[in-house]
Amino acid sequence: MFGEERKIEILNKIDIEGSVRVDELAKIYKVTEATIRRDLQFLEEKGFIKRTHGGAVINDESMNELTFFQKQGKNSKNKEIIGSYAASFINDGETIAIDASTTTLQIIKHIKNKQINILTNSVDVIEELIGNPNIQVISTGGIVRNKTRAMVGPIADAAIKNFIVDKAFMGANAIDIQHGIASTHIIESETKKSMISIAKEVIFLCESEKFEKIKFSKICDLEDVDCIITDNDITEDIIEKYKEKTKIIIAK
């Protein structure tokens, strides 16, 4: 296993279990305790964890991450408008990917009569579509994060890479002209990257308030995105600034 993969797995383990011990990680990954300490030092310098005597714990303050239900109640009107408009991009016969986002979830109520395939890492998308005779749902599997109800991690990433989709509809926490599109959580960002890698067309659904924001876990550059669908609260200045990098569409 490469060092970067090990760091991601360690962070995932800390996120799920709350804490880890250096000696236990050394046995799991068959490396020296010194190597694990260097991994933990790297993750602490990035702000993901806090080292403790003999181990590490998650740095919840640096994550600054709302739960799924907290996000769901925020800007709900704009999310509904964006999701409804995004649904018009989906055609019968297509295979699409929808990630675990409160904004992309709004697509579902507008496509239930379409004959499509959906690949998703969202527990809520699956729950919404169970029993629908028109839509074949493919779950990525993976570790379910309680905060966001997203399936993530190596299992999800490996499953995603077995497919090719016509369009991927993605959510994010921040968009910045210099630093690109980002999430609050490194493991979720990795799974979003996997979805982007299999899509012929990549569409982000983001409320206008997410522009000019920076989060620490980068998903992709703006140039990697075909378009961003947002709400009509976005200013002309922002549209002008960002249209050099990607297409900005206002939901109607």
- The structural domain count of the chain equals 2
Shared domain for 163 and 105, answered yes or no, is yes
Q: Is the pLDDT of residue 204 over 90?
A: yes
Q: Is the pLDDT of residue 119 over 80?
A: yes
Shared domain for 76 and 56, answered yes or no, is no
Is-above-0.85 flag for pTM? no
Of 40, 61, 82, the last residue of a domain is 61
Residues across the chain: 252
More confident of the two residues 46 and 144? 144
CB 40 within 8 A of CB 21: no
- Residue 17 belongs to domain with CATH number: 1.10.10.10
Shared domain for 30 and 132, answered yes or no, is no
Q: Is the pLDDT of residue 65 over 70?
A: no
Per-residue confidence (pLDDT) for residue 62, from 0 to 100: 46
pLDDT in tens, 81-114: 999 999 999 999 999 999 999 999 999 999 999 9
Shared domain for 29 and 135, answered yes or no, is no
Task: Output DSSP code: residue 93.
Answer: T
Residue 50, CA distances (Å) to 37, 60, 121 in order:
12, 9, 28
Q: Are strands 55-58 and 49-52 parallel, antiparallel or unpaired?
A: antiparallel
Task: Output DSSP code: residue 30.
Answer: T
Q: Which domain holds residue 185?
A: 68-250
Per-residue confidence (pLDDT) for residue 75, from 0 to 100: 53
Mean pLDDT of 176-187: 88
Shared domain for 214 and 124, answered yes or no, is yes
Lowest-confidence segment of 51-65, 105-119, 162-176 by average pLDDT? 51-65
